[in-house]
Structure 1
Amino acid sequence: MMNDYDKFERLVQKFDQENKLIRAWELKGGISAKVTGLEILQSSGQIVKMIARQHGDNDLKRNPNIAADEHKLLGILKSAGLPVPMPYYFEQSCEIFSKPCILLEFIEGKSEFTPSNLNDHILQLAINLVKIHRVNCADLSLSFLPKVENTYVEMLNNIERVILDETLNLSMISDLLKSFMPLVSKNKEVILHGDYWPGNILWKEDKLVSIIDWEDSGLGDPLADLANSQLEISYHFGMQAMNDFTHQYKSMMPELNFTNLPFWQLFAALRLSKFPEWGLEKSKENSWKKRHKSFVRQAINQIRLI
């Protein structure tokens, strides 16, 4: 039976038989996938780093083709000029590992939660979300991507099976959304990241260098991505930073109809309400819950004006 080192060596040699694995190490921080750093000696004598990414059971249950889909999407996005890891190789045989695995470019950078210049940080986040939503989908084969609205409706339909935190008025949010479904589409479908938050962005020397973890990607209204990012930014950087992010995004996307944004904000509020699972310090959890309630309150006030 092969040990982990032998498995990763076989993986990099399936990509290029001349490759030699120098070392492999687990990368911390991943929740939905097992991520391993690899240092490789190539036949040219150059030493390079790569990432081996194996999706978790929950993602594979939701989409058995998730590794193939993410590999394919990263190739499309890289060709479109987006700052994403280059996908090198897709191992689908399960001869080495029990699950499919993708081999990706290793990008030097880290997530940043205490930026030295918050205004510039927020601007770069907005610019790069716009870049994702401006990818021209007309000539791309994207049928492998799910419709994000369908995913959200499924979440809504299954909400009764979950124990809801009623201090956040989640049942009321769910009932309100159900009363307005289906939403009438007012924007053209675009590629969505699905989980565009500070933990999925890598920075180096105050510059955004990579957008990672595309397992929640899909097609749909760009406002779905915007709403998720708004709430995440409010959690990590505060309501003023969220408002600045929203202003920057809107100024760069004047062609969008923002009428349905408060509905997508309520979907985001349902999705991003699993505070006990996040293992936060109590003071931070309480602060985030206050921001969640304020976010929901503003969304409902906007819906009343529609």
Structure 2
Amino acid sequence: MSSFQQLALKLGTELLGVRPLAGGVSARVTALDVRLGGPCRRLVVREYGRQDLIRAPDLAAREFHLLEVLYRAGLPVPSPVHHQPGRLVTTFLEGENGTTTAADLRHLAGFLTRLHALDPAGVELPLLPGPGPAPVMPDESLSGSRIRRALHDLDPGECGRLSVLHGDLWPGNTLWQAGHLSAVLGWEDAALGDPLADVGNTRLELLFSQGKGAMHAFTQEYARHRDLNLDRLRFWDLRAALRPCGRLTSWGLEPTVQAQWERRHAWFVRQAGA
């Protein structure tokens, strides 16, 4: 009996079909068609990678409870169904990956402002970790040492109340249907911290995938809803710029795309003052 058949039995359902889903980077994602005495229902099983489980063995339980909070708050997230070590089961939501229009960017910024406005009391998440020690062999192709020196000289300032952070909000972690944001996925990096950490990460991701215009449009829309201190944003842009260092070459990009992203990353670092 396969592990998915065992899971279906545990849920009290009949397994009708199994289909791998595209888009999983740090986790394996699979759709299950199941039935419980009625119409067919589709679920999604997210199986976390080894590195994520070393970092957080309780990741499935933590993400399950976070999704419960977000779903009750009316945010567009899958409804959690079940969890077990290393594996999370949620409802399946229809939609296509990616943002393509100005309206999409408005919806994305609106989602992030709603998330950051939530009261984090009772949400059990780790605090946003620091940038970590400098690697023995820094990634100088992405100016790793220069970024760290600039961060050392910058003061992030006070963020006020901590916010719930998605931690990895990029177009690949979103689903869109009929021009609306139907779901935000991939909550394994969620944390409590400064909301500008999310803003900086999403700015860089939009720059990578869609260019400066999309990055600026998203930033302006977020600023319509929440105060945006541009001096403090410089710090969080540089924190975001550290994330691809030492990792970009492992993302499986086409050579021309990787070269373009490297140029855009260099510009992003310069505009942040490093």
- Listed as ranges, the matches of 1:67-78 within 5 Å are 67-78=60-71
Give the distance between the partners of 2:131 and 2:28, measured in 1 at CA.
28
- The answer to whether residue 158 in structure 2 is matched with residue 164 in structure 1 is no
- CA deviations on 1:86-111 (whole Å, 9 max, x unpaired) are 0011124xxxxxxx322101111121
CA distance 1:112–1:184, change in 2 (3 Å): closer
For residue 151 of structure 2, what is the aligned residue in structure 1?
177
Amino acid at match of 2:135: E
Tell which structure's C-alpha radius of gyration is larger: 1
- The answer to whether residue 98 in structure 2 is matched with residue 104 in structure 1 is no
Q: Which of 126, 137, 143 is matched with 2:109 structurally? A: 126
- Listed as ranges, the matches of 1:261-300 within 5 Å are 261-273=233-245, 274-300=247-273
For residue 46 of structure 2, what is the aligned residue in structure 1?
53
| Secondary structure, aligned partner of 1:36 | strand
Q: Which of 173, 176, 187 is matched with 1:214 structurally? A: 187
How far off is 1:231 after superposition?
0.5
Amino acid at match of 2:111: N
Give the distance between the partners of 2:140 and 2:130, measured in 1 at CA.
20
Give the distance between the partners of 1:198 and 1:152, measured in 2 at CA.
24
Give the distance between the partners of 2:74 and 2:217, measured in 1 at CA.
25
Give the distance between the partners of 1:299 and 1:225, measured in 2 at CA.
16
Q: Which of 197, 213, 228 is matched with 1:240 structurally? A: 213
Give the distance between the partners of 1:153 and 1:276, measured in 2 at CA.
20
Q: Show structure 1 runs of 4+ deviating over 2 A.
A: 178-181, 183-187, 256-259, 272-275
TM-score normalized with structure 2 length: 0.94
| Secondary structure, aligned partner of 1:153 | coil
Give the distance between the partners of 2:259 and 2:36, measured in 1 at CA.
50
CA contact (8 A) 2:166 2:198 kept: yes
State the aligned residue count. Answer: 273
Give the distance between the partners of 2:232 and 2:98, measured in 1 at CA.
30
Structure 1 gap segments, 5+ residues each: 93-99, 302-306
CA contact (8 A) 2:95 2:182 kept: yes
What percent identity do the matched residue pairs reach? 37
| Secondary structure, aligned partner of 1:146 | coil
- Listed as ranges, the matches of 1:13-92 within 5 Å are 13-15=9-11, 17=12, 19-43=13-37, 45-92=38-85
TM-score normalized with structure 1 length: 0.84
CA contact (8 A) 2:131 2:239 kept: no
CA contact (8 A) 2:71 2:78 kept: yes
Higher RCO by CA contacts (8 Å cutoff, separation 6 or greater): 2
| Secondary structure, aligned partner of 2:168 | coil
Give the distance between the partners of 1:66 and 1:32, measured in 2 at CA.
13
